[in-house]
């Protein structure tokens, strides 16, 4: 039935009847607005759920590139690690889980179940992304000391999978302790050499001793005070063998914080720089140098050892010298062989803990 109250349409001669336009607000509803917003939000959530680990990885790499923390940041990394390790226990005391049936405020539940775990994951990720380049920089490829940096890289990648990392590591006390002890060891090795200028062997021993002692203390379940004589004895009994094992395994680890910036074989040294660089030299070459440029922290002095090998066999006595840190181009040092015989030659640069800093190889052709 037609609406009699509606005014009649006015039509001029020769023109079609006019149609009244609806009011601008007639088509707007809250539900339509929510639906229009929900679509992109749903898309972003699905995108984040699918690509969050790789986004996190990219942000971690970008932060590492932009921050450009050098070895001097190592003590701060140790402090951040202590915060990451203890934060779950602190939050458990400050914001314990509510009793059964109790109503928990939304903000409190968000901080306890989302905010604190997220902060822990971010702290571990930042620490590992700082440590990985330092350990890779000290490693020599190809050699066995690449193993430790690869393990750290896998651990750093694991922190990018935040959901898995929280469930598999953070929420399991024993796994979290062992994980944290490994990261603490990796952070203490450069930190001790920066703060105390300790030798590589001493730094490895102290780093392993401290990280193992903290882990043993954290895993104690007898409830006794760790300051008692009996508890301290038990902690040391568990930590000292780990520290000794770390010293014995030193040749398998990179010589952190030493970093070989350049190396090569040549026929002359001019102003401490290598000249006549080559990978092969003819028989009768008067002298061939194995030259290295090694970076160390400022004011750090380290003893290094040269070892020569001919066709895979050690020749001559080890040559001991010292290198110093704080130079932007690295400390330049060299050793040489006079009239080397035909064959494959190799010069290894090692520190006092028998860790491989760098290696130079060349051939002498008949």
Residue 150 sits in the same domain as residue 282: no
Confidence tier at 28 by pLDDT (50, 70, 90): low
pTM beyond 0.85: no
Tell me if 17 is assigned to some domain.
Answer: no
Tell me, rounded to whole angstroms, the distance of Cα 139 from its chain centroid: 14
Does the pLDDT at position 274 exceed 90?
Answer: yes
For 224, residues 6+ apart whose C-beta sits below 8 A from its C-beta are 230, 231
Question: CA–CA separation, 112 vs 263, rounded Å?
Answer: 52
| Lowest mean per-residue pLDDT among 63-67, 103-107, 262-266 | 63-67
Query: What pLDDT was estimated at residue 338?
Result: 94
**pLDDT (mean) for 312-341:** 92
Closest CA to 357 of 261, 265, 260: 260
Name residue, tokens 């001991």. 320
Query: What pLDDT was estimated at residue 35?
Result: 52
Residue 271 sits in the same domain as residue 348: yes
**pLDDT (mean) for 89-113:** 76
- Cα radius of gyration rounded to whole Å, the chain: 32
Domain of 267, CATH number, reads: 2.60.40.1930
Residue 145 sits in the same domain as residue 71: yes
Question: CA–CA separation, 360 vs 363, rounded Å?
Answer: 11
**pLDDT (mean) for 265-287:** 94
Contacts of residues 160-169 at CB distance under 8 Å and 24 or more positions apart, as own/partner, are 160/53, 160/54, 160/56, 160/57, 160/60, 160/125, 161/53, 161/56, 162/52, 162/53, 162/56, 162/118, 162/121, 165/121, 165/124, 166/117, 166/120, 166/121
| Lowest mean per-residue pLDDT among 38-42, 81-85, 123-127, 129-133 | 38-42
Residue 355 sits in the same domain as residue 304: yes
Contact 330, 291 (CB under 8 A): no
Residue 281 sits in the same domain as residue 133: no
Residue 248 sits in the same domain as residue 264: no
* Domain stop point among 235, 252, 269: 252
Tell me if 294 is assigned to some domain.
Answer: yes
Q: What is the pLDDT of residues 31-63, one digit of tens each?
A: 555 455 555 545 555 554 555 555 555 655 555
Contact 281, 365 (CB under 8 A): yes
* Domain stop point among 203, 230, 252: 252
Confidence tier at 262 by pLDDT (50, 70, 90): very high
Residue 323 sits in the same domain as residue 177: no
Domain count, the chain: 2
Query: What pLDDT was estimated at residue 239?
Result: 93
Does the pLDDT at position 29 exceed 70?
Answer: no
Residue 127 sits in the same domain as residue 160: yes
Confidence tier at 303 by pLDDT (50, 70, 90): very high
**pLDDT (mean) for 99-115:** 76
Q: What is the pLDDT of residues 323-335, one digit of tens each?
A: 998 888 899 999 9
Question: CA–CA separation, 104 vs 183, rounded Å?
Answer: 35
Report the share of the chain in percent with pLDDT over 70. Answer: 77
In three-state secondary structure terms, 158 is: helix
In three-state secondary structure terms, 9 is: coil
Tell me if 75 is assigned to some domain.
Answer: yes
Q: What is the pLDDT of residues 158-198, one digit of tens each?
A: 888 878 888 888 888 899 889 989 999 998 998 887 777 77
Q: What is the pLDDT of residues 203-240, one digit of tens each?
A: 999 999 999 998 998 887 655 666 678 878 888 999 99
Query: What pLDDT was estimated at residue 70?
Result: 60
Rounded alpha-carbon distances, angstroms, from residue 8 to 2, 4, 22, 143: 11, 9, 16, 94
Does the pLDDT at position 94 exceed 90?
Answer: no
Confidence tier at 10 by pLDDT (50, 70, 90): very low
**Backbone dihedral region for residue 312 (phi beyond 0: left; psi -120 to 50: alpha; all else: beta):** left
Does the pLDDT at position 3 exceed 70?
Answer: no
Query: What pLDDT was estimated at residue 1?
Result: 45
Tell me if 335 is assigned to some domain.
Answer: yes
Residue 222 sits in the same domain as residue 266: no
Question: CA–CA separation, 94 vs 71, rounded Å?
Answer: 35
Domain that holds residue 176: 38-96+106-252
Confidence tier at 2 by pLDDT (50, 70, 90): very low
In terms of C-beta density within 10 A (0-12 exposed, 13-18 middle, 19 or more buried), how is residue 245 classed? exposed
User: How confident is the prediction for the chain on average, in pLDDT?
Assistant: 80
Question: CA–CA separation, 9 vs 288, rounded Å?
Answer: 106
Tell me if 139 is assigned to some domain.
Answer: yes
Tell me if 138 is assigned to some domain.
Answer: yes
Confidence tier at 148 by pLDDT (50, 70, 90): very high
Does the pLDDT at position 25 exceed 70?
Answer: no
> 96 versus 360: which is more confidently predicted?
360
Rounded alpha-carbon distances, angstroms, from residue 87 to 98, 146, 191, 248: 19, 32, 22, 33
**259-266: strand order across its sheet:** 259-266, 287-295, 331-338
> 347 versus 198: which is more confidently predicted?
347
Tell me if 15 is assigned to some domain.
Answer: no
For 53, residues 6+ apart whose C-beta sits below 8 A from its C-beta are 160, 161, 162
* Domain stop point among 252, 284, 314: 252
| Lowest mean per-residue pLDDT among 98-102, 132-136, 145-149, 360-364 | 98-102
Residue 152 sits in the same domain as residue 247: yes
Residue 167 sits in the same domain as residue 72: yes
Residue 67 sits in the same domain as residue 143: yes
Tell me if 67 is assigned to some domain.
Answer: yes
């Amino acid at each position: 039935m037609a609406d009699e109250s509606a005014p009649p349409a006015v039509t001029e001669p020769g023109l079609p009847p006019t149609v009244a336009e609806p009011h601008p607000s007639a088509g707007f509803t809250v539900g339509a607005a929510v639906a229009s917003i929900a679509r992109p939000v749903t898309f972003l959530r699905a995108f984040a759920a699918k690509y969050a680990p790789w986004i996190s990885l990219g942000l971690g790499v970008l932060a590492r590139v932009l921050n450009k923390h050098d070895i001097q940041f190592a003590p701060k990394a140790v402090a951040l690690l202590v915060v990451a390790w203890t934060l779950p226990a602190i939050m458990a005391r400050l914001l314990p889980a509510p009793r059964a049936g109790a109503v928990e405020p939304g903000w409190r539940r968000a901080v306890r179940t989302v905010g604190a775990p997220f902060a822990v994951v971010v702290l571990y990720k930042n620490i590992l992304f700082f440590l990985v380049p330092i350990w890779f920089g000290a490693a020599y490829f190809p050699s066995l000391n690449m193993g430790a940096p690869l393990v750290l890289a896998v651990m750093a990648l694991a922190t990018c999978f935040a959901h898995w990392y929280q469930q598999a590591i953070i929420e399991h006390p024993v796994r979290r302790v062992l994980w944290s002890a490994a990261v603490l060891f990796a952070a203490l090795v450069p930190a001790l050499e920066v703060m105390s200028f300790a030798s590589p062997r001493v730094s490895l021993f102290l780093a392993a001793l401290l990280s193992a002692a903290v882990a043993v203390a954290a895993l104690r379940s007898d409830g006794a005070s760790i300051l008692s004589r009996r508890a301290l004895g038990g902690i040391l009994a568990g930590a000292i063998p780990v520290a000794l094992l770390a010293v014995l395994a030193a040749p398998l680890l990179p010589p952190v914080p030493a970093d070989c910036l350049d190396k090569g074989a040549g026929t002359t040294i001019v102003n401490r720089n290598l000249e006549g660089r080559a990978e092969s030299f003819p028989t009768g070459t008067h002298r061939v140098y194995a030259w290295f440029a090694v970076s160390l922290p400022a004011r750090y002095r380290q003893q290094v050892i040269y070892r020569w090998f001919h066709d895979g066999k050690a020749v001559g006595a080890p040559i001991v010298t010292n290198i110093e840190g704080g130079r932007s181009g690295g400390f330049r040092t060299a050793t040489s062989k006079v009239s080397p015989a035909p064959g494959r030659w190799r010069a290894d640069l090692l520190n006092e803990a028998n860790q491989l800093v760098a290696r130079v190889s060349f051939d002498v052709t008949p």
